[in-house]
Every structure is written in structure tokens, then in C-alpha cells.
Amino acid sequence: MMKILKRFYLGLILLFLYVPIVVLIVQSFNAGESRAVWEGFSLTWYGKLFNDPNIMKSLWVTVSIAVLAALFSTILGTLAAIGIHAMRKRPQAIMLTLNNIPMTMPDIVTGISLMLLFIFTKVERGYVTMLLAHITFDVPYVILSVMPKLKQMNKHSYEAALDLGATPMYALLHVILPEVMPGVITGAMLAFTLSLDDFTISYFTTSPLVQNLSTLIYSQARKGIKPTMNALSALMFVVLLLLLLLVNKRSSKQE
């Protein structure tokens, strides 16, 4: 009895989480534009999606920024994690606290503070500023995922490599990196996801000319979202879901 009750409860919560998503996907197949009335099954919105230059452009902006931000923040963050890990106690504590700031600061404050920086330094807001902002909020998460792996590894292998004549670069690439790779990949995935879904910080750090999907959706929300947006998110949802399954399958195989 208890068991059924428990499952029923979980089911209810998941229903709460999934109903809007199901509705979204169903709407993307609606022949009409209305969000309330079903006018028959159709794929028109999917067709229109690929012909909408605004959506396509912001899709590229979103994905390319997510990829680039993940790449740069992974490099920067992995290096930083290695450095911080080797620091003495005092500077390490300072660095970890500083690293926590971007994570704990409300998004709106991060966004506004970066906007002020760009305006102050007269840097025109757009693609590059958005990328810089994304890297900034991604790096702490990369560091957070790499740190535990560093703690697990042998403290002296790096010095040993140097003593044996390796350059710092060589030791980094061939001794440390292979050991912490799982953490690096987790960090990169996390950075990619965070960047893909960010709205608040992008909103304050870009100009209306360069929009990612989130800011585009927000600006369109005022005059009614077209079902093309639903079609796009349904597609992205399925692609990401497949990717997730694929990654899971691979990792379970490797085990």
C-alpha cells in the first residue's frame, strides 16, 4: 500500500514537471497558431522554423557561444584548478572564496555588474561581450568539477615528471591531464548546459542585434510566442535527450 502511495506521489510530481513540456511539444504540431485550440496535426511550424532567419541566427549565437564558452572556460578552469590545488593554504582559501563569488552572486547582479564594466570601458555590447560573460560564469563550475579529481591524484607525480626532465607544459599535458579528464569533461558539459540556458546574464550583456534564444524568446513573449519557437525547443529537447542517452550508454559500457 505504502509502495503504491509513494509511486503515486512521484508520479504526481513528475506530472507537474512534465505537463507544460508536453503541452509545448503538442502545440508545436498544431496546425493553427492558437495556443488553446487544437486545429489538427501538422508539421508547418517545423518547416517555417528553418526559414525564420531570426530564429536560425539566434540558434547559431546560442550554440556557438555555448561551445566556445565551454571550450575557453574548460581550459581556463582546468589550469586554474591545477594551480589552486598546488597553492599553500592561505592563497588557496582566498582563491576558493573569490571563485565562489560568481556562483553565489544573483544572476541579475552579475549581469548588471558586467554591463556596467562594458559600458564603463566603452566596449560595444554584442557577441564578444556575451561570450566573455558566459566564460566568466562558467569557469567556477569547471573548477568545482576538476578539484575533486585533483585531490584524488598522487601529489608528487607532477614534481617527479619535472625532475625527470619534463617541461611544465609536457607534465601538464601528459601527467596531470589524463588523470583529471573525467572531471574536465563533466565541467565542460556543465558549462555547455549553463551557457545554453542562460537568460539573465545574456540579457544584460548583449545588444538587441545579437540575441541568443533566451533573449529572443523573452522579447517575443511580449507579443506572443509563435509555435515555431515551440518546434525549435521540441527539436532541441529531443536532440539533447538523445545525446544524454548516448553518453550514458557509453559510460556504462566503459564501466
Partner 1 sequence: MTDFQVPIWGYWLMGIGLAAFIVMLGMYIRKNRGFKRPLFASPYVLWLVIFTVIPCLLVAYFSFTDPAGNFTLDNFKNFWDSNFNARKAMDQEELNMYLSMGLTLEDLGLARNSINIDTLVFSLWMAFLCTAICLLLGYPAAHIMADRNFKLGPTLVILFIVPMWMNFLLRTIAMMSLLEDNGLINNVLEMVGIGRQKLLNNTAAVQLGMVYNFLPFMVFPIYNVLNKMDYKLSEAAMDLGCDHWHTFYKVTLPLSVPGVVSGITMVFMPAVTTFYISRLLGGGKISLFGDLIEAKFLSTSLQEWNVGSALSLIMMVLILLSLGLLRRVDPEGEGGGMV
Partner 2 sequence: MKKLVSLVSVLVLCFSMLPLNNAFADQEVVNVYNWYDYMDEDVFALFEEETGIHVNKMYFTTNEDMMVQLRVSPGAYDLVFPSDYCVERMIAEGLIAEINFDNVPNLVNVNPDLINPDYDPENKYSVPFMWGTVGILYNTKKVEEEVNSWSILWDEKYADDIIMLDSIRDTLGVTLKYLGYSMNSRNLVELKAATDKLIEQKPLVKAYYVDETKDKMAAGDAALAVVYSGDALYAMELNEDLDYAVPKEGSNVWIDPMVIPATAKNKENAEKLINFLCRPDIAQKNCEYIWYSSPNAAAIELMGEDYTENTTINPDPSVLERCEFFHDIPDNYLTIYNSFWSQVKNAK
Interface stretch with partner 1, choices 40-48, 53-61, 63-71, 140-148 (CB under 8 A):
140-148
- CA distances from residue 208 to 18, 50, 129, 132, 173 in whole angstroms, order as listed: 32, 21, 13, 17, 41
Q: Out of partner 1, partner 2, none, which partner does residue 10 contact, by CB within 5 to 8 A per kind?
A: partner 1
- Strand-pairing partners, residue 54, are none
- Strand-pairing partners, residue 30, are 41
Letters for 73-102 (x = contact with partner 1 by CB under 8 A, - = none) are ---xx-xx-xxxxxx---x---x--xx-xx
Q: Out of partner 1, partner 2, none, which partner does residue 23 contact, by CB within 5 to 8 A per kind?
A: partner 1
Amino acid 46 reads Y
Positions 5 through 44 that interact with partner 1 (CB under 8 A)? 6, 9-10, 13-14, 16-21, 23-24, 27, 35-36
Positions 116 through 145 that interact with partner 2 (CB under 8 A)? 119, 124-127
- Region of residue 94 (phi > 0: left; psi between -120 and 50: alpha; otherwise: beta): alpha
Give me 89's grid cell: 593554504
Q: Is 65 in the site for partner 1 (CB under 8 A)?
A: no
The torsion angle over the Cα atoms of residues 64, 67, 70 and 74, rounded to 10 degrees, is -120
Q: Is 89 in the site for partner 2 (CB under 8 A)?
A: no
Q: Is 219 in the site for partner 2 (CB under 8 A)?
A: yes
Positions 190 through 209 that interact with partner 2 (CB under 8 A)? 207-209
Are 26 and 230 in contact by the 8 Å Cβ rule? The answer is no
Helices and strands, counts by H and E, the chain: 12, 0
Interface stretch with partner 1, choices 40-48, 50-58, 63-71, 127-135 (CB under 8 A):
127-135
Positions 43 through 62 that interact with partner 1 (CB under 8 A)? none
- CA distances from residue 81 to 21, 56, 114 in whole angstroms, order as listed: 37, 36, 24
Residues that bind partner 2 (CB under 8 A): 54, 57, 60-61, 63-64, 67-68, 71, 115, 119, 124-127, 181, 185, 207-209, 219, 222-224
